[in-house]
């Protein structure tokens, strides 16, 4: 393998046809943009040589440090190129030179959806770089013909920047194969499993991946996923064993189904990660303190769901129910920016495994305190509307606390968990918030033991203010009392059943 930092861009001339409106072809534009990015990143000018069937030479493949293959059905028909690439891949594997410092030297570029594994079996384990859009509503793929604009900026250019950095990583990596130069796996504390997603969450996944890599984390899977269900489950389990945290992004698309399964890849990864979490909990219970291996799982459900199928609704509800039973799992339906903060908290400060700390806005525990504490939970938009309830409960001699919404997100989350841990009873206020938000808070109450809670709640309730069209069975299943009425006026009588239960 050459160290001259020359890059081969192999493609079919049919994939570089002039685009509508007289714009230069897809490959020509890709070559120009990538060359510019490589110069901006490296301040060097690594040569990116354009190669088609007309100037292809199998013997010259060894001369390139990096090979980019625009994999399409057109290129697959060019048998000389396919045969030479597969022979080259087999040789690289034998010499242990297919990767350089953990990154593959061969990049599979997709300008449109295409499965290159049949044509390039020697590279089937390598991830693809997908430079196309998929309409989340119709599932129809859209090849880029316009390379500027919001869609291109979020998909095409962000992916191109990622690829440019990966190429640069390979170009400056040590040659492998010699003693002492083998790539070392990242430590478990710096490895994260970022599950694959439905088509509508691809951009969000790329954002999270880029953020984690920027902070030095290894992201798994770092290979393409098997197309058969049992092989997929085995691979996911193996990857999870190497990770400190798994992250699952869920949107409107259920995802595609691998062979031999009625479940999607997204669903299978979630179920496998759930099983792994239970196993880690059991192992950590038996392990010595210095041998414990904390593992947590974050499931992010997009807060912007609109066109959700019945199948997807059931899937999301199952995720929430499963997570409610595990202190190491959490479902979050918050803005993506806030998710990034919570991920950092899990990895850097220990998240729910963190030691207790003093914060502004958190009532300090007083040894021997006998005043009963009620946690009055309200959404930010409802905080000013709970004064009458809060005042009445305080007049009855209770210590009433409510969520804090000023300060660092990580600290606010910690305060919420501490209030769940310490309160004697809780009321969730249902005013302007959504029913999904209410259900999430009910799940938080179920998971309070995971935050160190040692005694059961004496009472929990949802206080309704105003007309609500909701499924009342859900509240009964959660053993939550329903308080309030369809009007908007508070009455102390509304709280009598709740207070009676506390006193009893």
CATH number of the domain residue 275 falls in: 3.40.50
Provide the pLDDT for residue 472.
Answer: 77
Q: Is the pLDDT of residue 145 over 80?
A: no
CA pair distance 188, 447, nearest whole angstrom: 26
> How sure is the predictor about 490, in pLDDT bands with cuts at 50, 70 and 90?
confident
- Which of 183, 200, 220 terminates a domain? The answer is 183
Average pLDDT in the 111-127 region? 90
Q: Is residue 480 predicted with pLDDT exceeding 80?
A: yes
* Beta strand extents in 92-174 (DSSP E only): 99-100, 103-104, 106-110, 128-130, 132-134, 141-143
| Model pTM score | 0.67
> Of 183, 202, 227, which residue sits at a domain end?
183
Same domain, yes or no: 351 and 212:
yes
Full residue range of the structural domain in which residue 406 is found: 362-503
pLDDT digits (tens, 9 = 90+) for 165-177: 889 888 887 654 4
Judged by average pLDDT, the poorest of 47-51, 283-287, 486-490 is 486-490
Buried/exposed 220-233: b ≥16 CB within 10 Å, e otherwise? bbeebbbeebeebb
Least confident among 321-330, 366-375, 453-462: 366-375
Q: Are residues 26 and 162 in the same domain?
A: yes
Q: Do 289 and 331 lie in a common domain?
A: yes
Confidence (pLDDT) at 228: 92
What pLDDT score was predicted for residue 181?
Answer: 43
pLDDT at 355 over 60: no
Q: Is the pLDDT of residue 54 over 70?
A: yes
Looking at residue 238, its pLDDT comes to 95
> Residue 424: CA atoms inside 13 Å, Cβ hemisphere, count?
16
Tens-digit pLDDT profile for residues 393-440: 999 999 999 988 877 676 777 788 888 888 999 999 998 888 878 888
Are 174 and 213 in the same domain? no
pLDDT at 320: 85
Q: Which of 16-20, 22-26, 178-182, 430-434 has the lowest mean pLDDT?
A: 178-182
pLDDT value for 23: 61
The encoded tokens of residue 503 equal 């006193």
Among 130, 241, 240, which residue's Cα sits nearest to residue 194?
Answer: 240
Q: How far apart are the first and last CA of the chain?
A: 78
> Do 293 and 203 share a structural domain?
yes
CATH number at residue 103: 3.40.50.10140
In a shared domain, residues 347 and 366: no
481 and 389 in a common domain? yes
Average pLDDT along the chain? 84
| Least confident range of 13-27, 39-53, 303-317 | 13-27
- How far, in Å, CA of 423 to CA of 449, rounded? 12
User: According to the model, what pLDDT value does residue 498 have?
Assistant: 93
Tokens of 32: 């120009």
Name the least confident of 268-272, 381-385, 481-485.
481-485
- Residues 260 and 341 reside in one and the same domain: yes
Same domain (yes/no): 337, 366? no
Average pLDDT estimate for 438-463: 80
- Residues 240 and 113 reside in one and the same domain: no
> 30 and 8 share a domain?
yes
Domain finish residue from 295, 329, 355: 355
Residue 369: pLDDT band (50, 70, 90) is low
Q: How many domains does one find in the chain?
A: 3
Cβ(445)–Cβ(411) below 8 Å: no
- Confidence at 365, pLDDT banded by 50, 70, 90: low
Tens digits of per-residue pLDDT, 198-225?
Answer: 888 888 898 898 888 878 888 999 888 8
Q: Which two tokens stand for residue 77?
A: 């028909």
How confident is the model over 258-280, as pLDDT tens digits? 999 999 999 999 999 999 999 99
Q: Stretch 289-316: mean pLDDT, rounded?
A: 89
With bands split at pLDDT 50, 70 and 90, how would you rate the model's confidence at 113?
confident
Quick one: 368 and 474 in the same domain? Answer: yes
pLDDT band of 351, cuts 50, 70, 90:
low
What's the CATH number where 405 sits? 3.40.50.2300
For the chain, percent of residues with pLDDT exceeding 90: 36
pLDDT of amino acid 177: 41
The helix (run of H) or strand (run of E) holding residue 66 is strand 66-70
């Amino acid at each position: 393998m050459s160290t001259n930092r020359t890059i081969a861009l192999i493609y079919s001339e049919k994939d570089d046809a002039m685009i509508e409106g007289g714009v230069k072809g897809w490959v020509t534009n890709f070559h120009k943009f990538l060359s510019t990015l490589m110069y901006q990143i490296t301040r060097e000018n690594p040569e990116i040589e354009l190669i088609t069937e007309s100037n292809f030479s199998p013997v010259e493949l060894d001369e390139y440090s990096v090979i980019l293959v625009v994999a399409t059905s057109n290129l697959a028909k060019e048998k000389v190129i396919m045969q030479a690439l597969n022979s080259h891949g087999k040789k690289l594997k034998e010499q242990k030179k297919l990767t350089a410092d953990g990154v593959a030297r061969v990049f599979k570029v997709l300008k449109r959806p295409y499965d290159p594994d049949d044509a390039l079996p020697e590279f089937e384990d390598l991830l693809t770089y997908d430079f196309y859009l998929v309409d989340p509503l119709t599932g129809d793929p859209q090849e880029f013909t316009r390379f500027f604009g919001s869609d291109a900026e979020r998909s095409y250019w962000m992916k191109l920047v990622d690829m440019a950095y990966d190429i640069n990583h390979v170009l400056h990596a040590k040659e492998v194969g010699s003693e002492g130069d083998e790539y070392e796996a990242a430590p478990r504390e710096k490895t994260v499993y970022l599950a694959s997603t439905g088509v509508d969450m691809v951009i969000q996944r790329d954002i999270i991946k880029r953020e984690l890599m920027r902070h030095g984390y290894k992201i798994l899977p770092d290979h393409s996923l098997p197309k058969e269900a049992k092989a997929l489950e085995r691979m996911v389990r193996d990857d999870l064993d190497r990770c400190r945290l798994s992250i699952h992004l869920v949107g409107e698309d259920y995802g595609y189904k691998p062979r031999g399964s009625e479940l999607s890849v997204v669903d299978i990864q979630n179920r496998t990660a759930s099983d792994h979490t239970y196993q880690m909990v059991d192992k950590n219970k038996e392990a010595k303190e210095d041998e414990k291996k904390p593992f947590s799982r974050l499931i992010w459900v997009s807060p912007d769901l609109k066109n959700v199928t019945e199948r997807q609704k059931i899937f999301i509800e199952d995720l929430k129910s499963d997570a409610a039973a595990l202190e190491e799992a959490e479902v979050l339906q918050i803005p993506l920016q806030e998710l990034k903060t919570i991920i950092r908290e899990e990895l850097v400060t220990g998240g729910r495994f963190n030691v207790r700390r003093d914060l502004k806005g958190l009532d300090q525990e007083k040894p021997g305190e006998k005043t009963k504490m009620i946690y009055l939970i309200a959404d930010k938009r409802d905080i000013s509307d709970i004064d009458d309830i809060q005042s009445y409960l305080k007049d009855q001699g209770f210590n009433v606390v409510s969520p804090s919404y000023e300060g660092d997100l990580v600290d606010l989350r910690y305060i919420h968990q501490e209030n769940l841990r310490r309160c004697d009873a809780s009321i969730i206020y249902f005013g302007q918030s959504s029913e999904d938000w209410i259900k999430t808070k009910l799940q938080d109450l179920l998971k309070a033991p995971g935050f160190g809670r040692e005694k059961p709640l004496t009472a929990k309730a949802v206080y309704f203010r105003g007309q609500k069209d909701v499924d009342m069975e859900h509240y009964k299943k959660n053993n939550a009392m329903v308080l309030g009425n369809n009007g908007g006026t508070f009455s102390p009588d509304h709280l009598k059943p709740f207070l009676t239960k506390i006193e009893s």
